[in-house]
Every structure is written in structure tokens, then in C-alpha cells.
Amino acid sequence: MYMKTISIKKSEINKNWWVADAEGQVLGRFASKIAQILRGKHKPDFTPHMDMGDFVVIVNAEKVTVTGNKETEKTYFSHTGYPGGVKNKSLALVRKTNPERILMNAVKGMLPHNKLGRSILCHLKVYNGPDHPHAAQNPKNLEV
């Protein structure tokens, strides 16, 4: 008798909803746990080429912590496409203006850099306060 590798079908995928509280969590460790759940690696029938992960709602995004001097020294780079169009923003400035972008960028960097990763990132919902509009999905609390 021989063993078979079973590849899951799209109709067999079950997606759950999770709520994770970012208050007091360290950014990188928290983002890696979220990326694993979004990807579906916590499921026993994980298939690498399929979008089989769960939906994750993150609340209290502005209260995520960083270690060391990252609050002042970490920068986010962007370029407008024009000559001299480099823009650098510090973590402290991003936390004031758009704090949910901190977690979105951290999780995005831990997902595959292709079409699958972009579609998986759509299953992440990040909110600043403790409230979110996804109560109708009956999300479970995620202990990270």
C-alpha cells in the first residue's frame, strides 16, 4: 500500500473569522501569526497554491508595540515615480496619521509576493479602535 498526497478542492475549503487584539503585542511576532492564519498554514489540509486561509479582523492597531529604537528609526519608503520623488516616513509619523498601515505592511511582507498573496491580503481587516463592523460573521477570539 502506498500513501497519496491529497490536494484540496476549492469547494472543500472552509473559511473562519477571527478577531485579534493588537494591544500590547510586538509588531513582528504578531504579524507572523496573522500571516500564518491568513495563508491557512494552521490547517491540516494546507495546500500551498490555494487561498484557503481564514479572515482576520485586527482591532486596536494603534496600540501595537515595537522593541528597541524602531519608533524613531524605522522608516517606510515610497517613491512617486518621478525624479526626486522619494518619500520616507518614520514609524511614529505613520502611527499618528494612519496606524492601521503599520500592521498591513508588516503582514503584507510575510505573504507571497504574487497574485495569491495579493488576494490573501484582502482577507485582513485592520481597525484602530476596539470596534469593528464584522460582528455578523460571529468571529472567534484569536489568542496570539
**Domains, the chain:** 13-67+99-141 (3.90.1180.10)
Q: Examine the pLDDT at 5 and tell me if it is beyond 90.
A: no
- Count of CB atoms within 10 A of residue 17's CB? 18
Average pLDDT of the residues in 10-23: 96
CA 17/CA 69 separation, integer angstroms: 34
Q: Examine the pLDDT at 69 and tell me if it is beyond 80.
A: yes
CA 112/CA 118 separation, integer angstroms: 8
pLDDT at 102: 97
pLDDT tens-digit map of 82-107: 999 999 999 999 999 999 999 999 99
Per-residue pLDDT band for 133 (boundaries 50, 70, 90) equals very high
Residue 11: name the closest of 52, 46, 56, 53 by CA: 52
Q: Could you give the C-alpha distances from 22 to 29, 60, 63, 87, 106, in angstroms and in order?
A: 11, 6, 6, 27, 13
Residue 64: name the closest of 39, 89, 32, 88 by CA: 32
Residue 106: name the closest of 41, 42, 26 by CA: 26
Contacts of 78 (CB under 8 A, 6+ apart): 86, 87, 88, 89
CA 119/CA 79 separation, integer angstroms: 23
Per-residue pLDDT band for 3 (boundaries 50, 70, 90) equals confident
Average pLDDT of the residues in 55-71: 97
Instruction: Calculate the average pLDDT of the chain.
Output: 95
- Going through 1-144 in order, the beta strands assigned E by DSSP cover 17-21, 55-59, 75-79, 86-90, 124-126, 140-141
